[in-house]
Structure 1
């Protein structure tokens, strides 16, 4: 027993060390980012950039809004993120509902086609989409970013919703049908409420990628008024490639803080959504 306890203690110690290292690797960059955003330009330029702040100032945050259109960039990113998530959730839920609940011939083939979209790289769509947008007048609009972001996120959304709907008892739908409920009522009163945790999961996961998207915004946005946050950070690059680093770090802090707070508040629902879909599947 003593030898077994010693092995368990060693395993616990190794697990603790591994978790501590993971936390340090994840937390240190964020801590360094926030501390650097509080340093003066002179302190950052004259001393070790990884040292603690010699002087603390909030001027970097004011300069971040003065140098670039940070407020407008945040609004554009918010509009794109919300629009793409609405499409991802609605279309993903409806597709998964048709595949798993309503059922139809060749639904397995349709599901396979959707899942193939997971492995398609986004880069191959840039040139065709640019040409199509230019021909129909969608270039340099919010929709030019929302449509491809939603389209490339749909396969995973459909997979997670399908995995969850597959394990909803069929008796639930049969009882609703016997009470006279049609497919639309079943979807609105049964399927949708049961899907809330999965919806939160999909929204949070996709919001991180949409909020930080650069490739679609850089390709389809031409005017300064529609720039999202990743494009707006280029405003802090001055003449001869000089970068106002402390203002840039302050801008990054402002832009990532809302997403972090939302994630911390809703992380339990996200974990439950993953468990209800992926673990059961």
Structure 2
């Protein structure tokens, strides 16, 4: 009798294959909306890139005569890329010469300002931080005409200096605000110990603060880089010479003979620009994530 009771109890405790299948089905049903959302987002992100890549392999006749959803006749038609590179190389050089100096100034001045506003103690630092925050609320479109007048009177038009100066001024408010937030997460005892050891303010900034903020600086640098590199309005306003156009303005005026748009080389040029930015983000993605969470918790 004891054996029978034990067996019946074990059978009752065993859920059985049918019960396991029901639990598995319910688990999949609960996760199905999440899977569908991820699939939709993936299609929304990947489809334009695939369409852009396929378009860069088409000839002009295929663009004009075939449906937009048709595949290219040849997947090895790379002459569009050679044509695009010969036209875009100069624009890429101008973008590098305009963006990277401005980015360096933004990082250096913004980090120094955040250090001064959060680490150093002086009267009026709260009002100064508010002034920087006010700069975030000023639309860039409002300052283009006055800046163009100033640059014209100074004789800077026709050069890349208007872009460098404007990019630096526009990027500073957000950089100062974010760096001040990140500096709040660093214990003040670190800088106090450096001061007791005889370190000056400049030494504390370059030897302690700057190295400790590597991930945060990289995150802000990437955010500002994407904004400055993809800028069209400012570059279109201040680049009056074709030889000084950045890559975004160059893509806007990417036409062939007699003003006819060459769709294949245009798609190839856009692919080159997108690929450079995409590779940069994929390589530095983990550092960006660490930098975004660095200022979330105060240490």
Runs (5+) with no aligned partner, structure 1: none
Structure 1 residues 41 and 134 mapped into 2: Cα distance closer, same or farther (>3 Å)?
Answer: same
The Cα shift of 1:216 comes to 1.3
The Cα shift of 1:64 comes to 1.7
Alignment partner of 2:106 out of 52, 71, 88? 88
Pairs aligned (count): 277
Matches within 5 A, 1:199-238: 199-238=217-256
Alignment partner of 1:261 out of 279, 282, 285? 279
Matches within 5 A, 1:95-134: 95-134=113-152
Structure 1 residues 236 and 157 mapped into 2: Cα distance closer, same or farther (>3 Å)?
Answer: same
Of structures 1 and 2, the larger Rg is shown by 2
Alignment partner of 1:186 out of 173, 180, 204? 204
Show the counterpart of 2:179: 161
Show the counterpart of 2:12: none
Runs (5+) with no aligned partner, structure 2: 1-18
TM-score of the pair, normalised by structure 1: 0.92
Structure 1 residues 183 and 8 mapped into 2: Cα distance closer, same or farther (>3 Å)?
Answer: farther
1:111-147 deviation digits (Å, cap 9, x = unpaired): 1111111121110001100111011122222110011
Cα distance in 1 between the residues matched to 2:26 and 2:181:
38
Alignment partner of 1:77 out of 86, 95, 104? 95
Show the counterpart of 2:6: none
The Cα shift of 1:7 comes to 7.1
Cα distance in 1 between the residues matched to 2:140 and 2:246:
19
TM-score of the pair, normalised by structure 2: 0.87
1:134-178 deviation digits (Å, cap 9, x = unpaired): 111222221100111121121111111111101101111111111
Alignment partner of 2:68 out of 34, 49, 65? 49
Show the counterpart of 1:270: 288
Alignment partner of 1:30 out of 49, 52, 68? 49
Cα distance in 1 between the residues matched to 2:194 and 2:106:
27
Alignment partner of 1:19 out of 34, 38, 45? 38
Structure 1 residues 181 and 7 mapped into 2: Cα distance closer, same or farther (>3 Å)?
Answer: farther
The Cα shift of 1:102 comes to 0.7
Cα RMSD for the two superposed structures = 2.0
Cα distance in 2 between the residues matched to 1:84 and 1:261:
22
2:82 counterpart of 1:62:
yes
